[in-house]
Amino acid sequence: MFHKRCTPGEHAVGRRAFLGASTAFAATAFADMTGLNVLGSSALAADLKKTQKRVILLWLAGGCSQLETWDPKPGASTGGPFRAIPTDVTGVHISELMPQMAQRMKHVCVMRGLDTKNGDHGSAAKLMMRGRRDEAGLKYPDLGAVVAREMGRADSKVPDYVTFYTQTEGRSFAPGDSGFLGARYAPMELTTNNIPEYIRKLDGISDLDHKQRGELRDLLGKQFTKGRQSETMGSHNEAYERVRGIMASESLFDISKEPQKVRDRYGPTQFGQQALIARRLVEAGVPFVRVARAWWDSHGQNFETHQEMVPELDHVMAALIDDLKDRGLLNDVMIVTLSEFGRTPGINSSLGRDHFASAWSSTITGCGIKGGSVYGKTDDKGNKVVAEQVDGGSLFATIYAALGINPEKNYYVGSRPIPLVNPGVQAVEEVLL
Amino acid sequence: MNAPNPESLKLVKDYSRPAIAFAVARVPGTDRVFLGSSDFKVSEADLSAAKFEPKGLYGHASYVTTLALSGSTLVSGGYDGKLVWWDTTMNKEIRTEAAHAKWIRQVVASPDGSRFASVADDMVCKVWDATTGKLVRELRGHGEKTPQNFPSMLYAVAYSADGKYLATADKTAKVIVWDAKAGEQLKKVEAPTMYTWDQVQRLHSIGGARSLAFSPDGQHLAVGGTGKIGNIDHLEAKARVEVFDWQAEKQVAEFVADKSQGLVNKLLYAPDGSWLLGVGGASEGFVAFFDVKSKKVLKQEKVGMHVHDLSIGPKFDSLLLAGHNKLTAYKLG
């Protein structure tokens, strides 16, 4: 059962428009695989423009420890040295490494009962980016591609899906991937710089030259399409428009445009700077931005690694929440923290923790999600989920539902209907607004 | 005192226990030992008992990472930032000090027993009156952040044999030598190979200068850690010791234990200064002896646990190692 989950009372017209458009879409889905024509409905487009949902995924690559973040077990033999601290949500404690987030848990839903059954970096990263395993001959789109498709606008001048992954470790395990949705929803990937390369006009071409070339192309295009009905030509024109928009969007990646106070808020680290760019992008209408922070794979010296990295996560995530809140965006922008898996409760002889997918945590903050909620319970040592277990599919269904996307909605590959999540997979109703 | 031959090292006994022992202190000439462990407790055990059964004495609020025994006074330090003074004769607490704002890494007693010095991740070395527990001075000079703007850590502290000097060592492998009485910074040496910052692949760090020992004559300062690490997911580099003429701020020897992987967590000079003993590990542990004169590795022995601490007998004839779920006793000489 699909429940649209946004702030109560918000965009009632949008719901009707959405449902109407969705019905129309369902009837014509076979003819219109992209569904973007639906967004061409002026009422719906205008409504989405105001209320478009967007996602920032903080991808904690390598496997962040749940015990040193969202599900501490202080005093247990598996608990490690860190204490748990109370938060602004009565009864909810998180690691002492996250004092800033402890004051902001009223905005956050912690999913503590993830059991995803895959402790291999490569395949687990794909699983947690797509919410399910690929089938033979069918590659599923990842979360970013689905959100780009569902929330992207045909008239958008900004990219639909941007991903930052600057460190090299693990980057190839889960590149942004639009699967069967095709290149239209593939991400703009930034791996070396925070500002995209190759989108600038060539130095040898003047502004006038560039403009005139575009006009000539438009003129020739119009003459060509005169008297012709061509979807290909329409798509061609749209692609050129998007390229022009993306070329003009370079400044969105430039944090020097932000006041120093805002830059200070995010901090000087690369992760902080990329999170700030992510905020600039979603504010400008980019539906999905992934900021990957590698590499958490702490087989040796787990506690020192987390002592180094968790405070940075704490600071950046808190800054992001505050900034989005101050800008009135937290109801429309979702922040997700996710890894390919968590880490073993058992502490190895190098004071490390190894790969562990049986009982770990993720968080969802903002849009459509019940802040201050905790779903899932692990046992005293963190070895297994004892209540409210969630797998990758349910997590994705929950994210989709919170964004107002029907998880049961079908895409079509040829004539085969492909639902957004596998049949029978349910969203976690308890954490949805 | 003559130094025993490292080749005489012989395993006596393993003692298993279900906790990581980070610190060990042995009452000289006895089988009575104190342990600081991952169960948040300071425990006492009798190594001569038929069954090895450490008995909890008191607790910290986190891992107990360091112990220093001077006369009948035991001082424990933990990741809770507290130092606890314990009377080992009466088996009762003397005092607890909220000593540091962050994890305490090591506490050592001065050679004359009048002071204890502690180091912690607040990057301050604090010197305490051993009797009154009064803070005598604070030594500040290590940066709170690494060059990459992440929190640094202050791992090690050591007194010179005459008690005149203190040395402290941090994550970025910077070592400061202090005038112990005046609290002034005298010299600085660095062992940058021991600190790995991975800017490209993983964007975090590992390593650091983990252990210190002054030579018996006070002229040299040995610094223990590990080499540059390629894959910082693991402690995969060889154990490493660098020796400095600290007055000249110059490295005079470098030892790489080719059969020993990981961190050198503790260092000790032979009583005549002829060799250096380093213990530590990665997924398993090691004992390594380094010849000071020839600057060569003398002996390396694998230990079935990552070794965190050692206690040597007063005649250098017994060695007790503490580590991951185990204690191991050796004979020397």
Mean pLDDT of chain A, nearest integer: 86
Residue A164: name the closest of A306, A257, A61, A313 by CA: A61
In one letter, which amino acid is B180? A
Scanning every residue of chain A, which has its alpha carbon at the shortest distance from the alpha carbon of B303? A349
Asked if residue A249 lies in contact with residue A241, where contact means CB atoms within 8 angstroms, the answer is: no
pLDDT score recorded for residue A248: 73
Among the residue ranges A16-30, A268-282, B185-199, the one predicted with the least confidence is A16-30
Does residue B235 sit at the A interface (CB-CB below 8 Å)?
yes
Sort out which chain A residues have CB atoms less than 8 A from B306's CB and list them.
349-351
ipTM of the complex: 0.95
On the question of pLDDT at A20 being above 80, the answer is: no
A99-134 per-position pLDDT tens digit: 999 999 999 999 999 999 999 999 999 999 999 999
Mean pLDDT of chain B, nearest integer: 97
B43-83 per-position pLDDT tens digit: 999 999 999 999 999 999 999 999 999 999 999 999 999 99
Q: Distance between CA atoms of B18 and B22, rounded to whole angstroms?
A: 13
Q: Do A307 and B153 touch (CB under 8 A)?
A: yes
Residue B238: name the closest of B223, B226, B255, B253 by CA: B226
pLDDT score recorded for residue A16: 33
The number of beta carbons lying within 10 Å of the beta carbon of residue B32 is 15
A23-54 per-position pLDDT tens digit: 333 333 322 233 333 333 444 434 444 468 99
pLDDT score recorded for residue A231: 54
Question: Considering CB atoms only, which of A75, A81, A168 is closest to B79?
Answer: A81
pLDDT score recorded for residue A230: 58
Mean pLDDT of A157-175: 93
Report for A28-32, A407-411, B1-5: range of highest mean pLDDT: A407-411
Q: Do A77 and B19 touch (CB under 8 A)?
A: yes
Domains of chain A in start order, with CATH, are 12-195+255-431 (3.40.720.10), 197-253 (no CATH)
Q: Distance between CA atoms of B239 and B86, rounded to whole angstroms?
A: 34
Does residue B16 sit at the A interface (CB-CB below 8 Å)?
no
> Which runs of consecutive H residues, i.e. helices, occur in A9-108?
12-28, 42-51, 99-102
Question: Considering CB atoms only, which of A83, A308, A348 is closest to B151?
Answer: A308
Does residue B98 sit at the A interface (CB-CB below 8 Å)?
no
Q: Where are the domains of chain B?
A: 6-331
A232-254 per-position pLDDT tens digit: 566 566 666 666 677 777 889 99
Q: Distance between CA atoms of A186 and A146, rounded to whole angstroms?
A: 10
Q: Do A295 and B79 touch (CB under 8 A)?
A: no
The number of beta carbons lying within 10 Å of the beta carbon of residue B153 is 25
pLDDT score recorded for residue A233: 62
On the question of pLDDT at B259 being above 60, the answer is: yes
For the record, the structure tokens of A295 come out as 């590499």
Does residue A234 sit at the B interface (CB-CB below 8 Å)?
no
What is the enclosing helix (H) or strand (E) of B206?
A: strand B204-207
pLDDT score recorded for residue A12: 33
Does residue A304 sit at the B interface (CB-CB below 8 Å)?
yes
Does residue B322 sit at the A interface (CB-CB below 8 Å)?
no
On the question of pLDDT at A382 being above 70, the answer is: yes
Angle at A320 between CA A317 and CA A326, to 5 degrees: 140
pLDDT band for A196, please (50, 70, 90 cuts).
confident
Q: Do B282 and A350 touch (CB under 8 A)?
A: yes
Asked if residue A46 lies in contact with residue A327, where contact means CB atoms within 8 angstroms, the answer is: no
pLDDT score recorded for residue A334: 98
Cβ-proximal residues to B105 (8 Å cutoff; 6+ apart), any chain:
B65, B66, B77, B119, B120, B121, B153, B154, B155, B156
Q: Do A169 and B62 touch (CB under 8 A)?
A: no
On the question of pLDDT at A362 being above 60, the answer is: yes
For the record, the structure tokens of B209 come out as 């200068």
Residue A324: name the closest of A262, A384, A396 by CA: A262
Does residue B195 sit at the A interface (CB-CB below 8 Å)?
no
Among the residue ranges A11-20, A283-292, B254-263, the one predicted with the least confidence is A11-20
**Tokens 């748990």 correspond to what residue?**
A84
Burial of B291 (0-12, 13-18, 19+ CB in 10 A): middle
On the question of pLDDT at A143 being above 80, the answer is: yes
On the question of pLDDT at B33 being above 70, the answer is: yes
For the record, the structure tokens of A153 come out as 């606008």
Does residue B39 sit at the A interface (CB-CB below 8 Å)?
yes
Class of domain B6-331: mainly beta
Angle at B106 between CA B104 and CA B107, to 5 degrees: 105
Angle at B94 between CA B90 and CA B95, to 5 degrees: 160
